[in-house]
Amino acid sequence: MDSTYNHKNHEANIYKLWEESGAFNPDTQKNVNSSKRPFTILLPPPNANASLHAGHAMFVIEDILIRWHRMMGDPTVWIPGTDHAGFETQYVYEKHLSKAGKSRFQFDRQTLYNDIYQFVQDNSGTIFNQLKQLGFSCDWSRATFMLDEKVIKVVYDTFQHMIDDGLIYRDNYIVNYSPKNGTTFSELEVMHVERIDPLYYINIADKGSHTHDLVVATVRPETIFYDEAIAINPNDGRYNDWKDTTEVIFNGPLGSQQMRIIWDDSIDMEFGTGVMKVTPAHDANDFALGRKHNLRVRPLIDFFGKIDLSAFSPNSPTQTERVQKYHGKKVAQVRKLVAADMSADGTIVKVDETYTHNVTVDYKTGGDIEPMVMPNWFVKMKPLAQKGIAAAKNKDVTFVPSRFETQYYQWLENIRDWPISRQIVWGIRIPVWYSINENPHLEVTFLDENHERVIGRVADLLDQYELNTIRAGLQTLRAPVDAVYRVSNECPGDDYLPETDTFDTWFSSGQWPLTTLGFPDSADFKRFFPTQVLDTMWDILFFWVARMIMLSLYRTNTVPFETVYLHSMVTDEKGAKMSKSKGNVINPIDLTEKYGADALRIALIAGSAPGNPIALSENKVKGYRNFANKLWNIARFIVLLSQNEEIRDKSYELRKKLKENSLPLTSYLLPLLPEDQQILNELNTLIETSTSNLEHFRFSDYAQNLYDFIWNRVASDYLESTKGREDKEVVLAVLIHVFSTCLKLLHPVMPFVTEAIWQEWSAAGILETEQLLITISWPNVKLHHQ
Distance CA 412, CA 381 (A): 9
Distances (CA, A) of 543 to 302, 539, 540, 548, 767: 29, 8, 5, 9, 49
Nearest residue to 43 via CA among 24, 59, 54: 59
Angle between helices 382-393 and 546-556 (to 10 degrees): 100
Task: Give 68-94 as a DSSP string.
Answer: HHHHTT--EEEE-EEB--HHHHHHHHH
Which residues of the chain carry a pLDDT beneath 50? 662-669, 783-786
Strands (DSSP E) along 206-267, which ranges? Answer: 214-218, 229-232, 247-252, 255-263
Backbone phi, psi, residue 498, to 5°: -85, 150
Distance CA 375, CA 423 (A): 11
Give the CA angle between residues 30, 31, 34 to the nearest 5°. Answer: 95
Q: Which pTM does this prediction carry?
A: 0.84
Contacting residues for 124 by C-beta, under 8 A, at least 6 apart: 48, 49, 82
Give the length of the chain.
Answer: 786
Distance CA 270, CA 265 (A): 13
Distance CA 631, CA 706 (A): 11
Give the CA angle between residues 464, 468, 474 to the nearest 5°. Answer: 90
Residue 663 pLDDT: 45
Residue 125 pLDDT: 82
Q: What is the pLDDT of residues 173-186, one digit of tens each?
A: 888 888 887 777 76
Buried b (16+ CB within 10 A) or exposed e, 56-89: bbbbbbbbbbbbbbbbbbbbbbbbbbbbbbbbbb
Task: Give 574-629 as a DSSP string.
Answer: TSPBP-TTTT----HHHHHHHH-HHHHHHHHHTT--TTS-EE--HHHHHHHHHHHH
Nearest residue to 567 via CA among 340, 681, 404, 365: 404
Distance CA 705, CA 764 (A): 29
Q: DSSP secondary-structure letter at 185?
A: E
Distance CA 375, CA 136 (A): 44
Chain centroid to Cα 373, Å, comes to 27
Residue 574 pLDDT: 84
Distance CA 289, CA 278 (A): 8
Buried b (16+ CB within 10 A) or exposed e, 568-591: bbbbbeeeeebeeeeeeebebbeb
Omega cis (within 30) before 674: no
Distance CA 140, CA 524 (A): 14
Buried b (16+ CB within 10 A) or exposed e, 461-474: beeebeeebbbbbb
Residue 784 pLDDT: 44
Contacting residues for 497 by C-beta, under 8 A, at least 6 apart: 433, 434, 436, 442, 444, 458, 467, 470, 471, 474, 477
The answer for 31, left when phi > 0, alpha when psi is -120 to 50, beta otherwise, is: left
- Name the 3-class secondary structure at 762: helix
606 touches 651 (CB < 8 A): no
Strands (DSSP E) along 141-189, which ranges? Answer: 144-145, 168-178, 183-185
Nearest residue to 405 via CA among 394, 419, 416, 417: 394
Read off the amino acid at residue 559. V
Give the count of beta carbons closer than 10 Å to the beta carbon of residue 450: 6
Backbone phi, psi, residue 639, to 5°: -65, -45
Query: What is the set of domains in the chain, with CATH numbers?
Result: 198-354 (3.90.740.10), 615-775 (1.10.730.10)
Helix H, strand E, coil C: the string for 632-696 is: HHHHHHHHHHHCCHHHHHHHHHHHHHHHHCCCCHHHCCCCCCHHHHHHHHHHHHHHHHHHHHHHC
Distance CA 501, CA 177 (A): 14
- Name the 3-class secondary structure at 131: helix
10: enclosing H helix or E strand: none
Q: Where are the alpha helices (DSSP H) in 212-303?
A: 284-293
Chain centroid to Cα 33, Å, comes to 34
176 touches 393 (CB < 8 A): no
627 touches 711 (CB < 8 A): yes
214 touches 260 (CB < 8 A): no
Chain centroid to Cα 238, Å, comes to 49
Read off the amino acid at residue 387. K
Q: β-strands 229-232, 255-263: how paired?
A: parallel
Q: Where are the alpha helices (DSSP H) in 188-330?
A: 284-293, 317-326
Read off the amino acid at residue 375. P
N-to-C CA span, the chain: 37
Distance CA 184, CA 418 (A): 12
52: enclosing H helix or E strand: none
Distance CA 80, CA 142 (A): 7
Distance CA 197, CA 276 (A): 18
Distance CA 502, CA 419 (A): 11
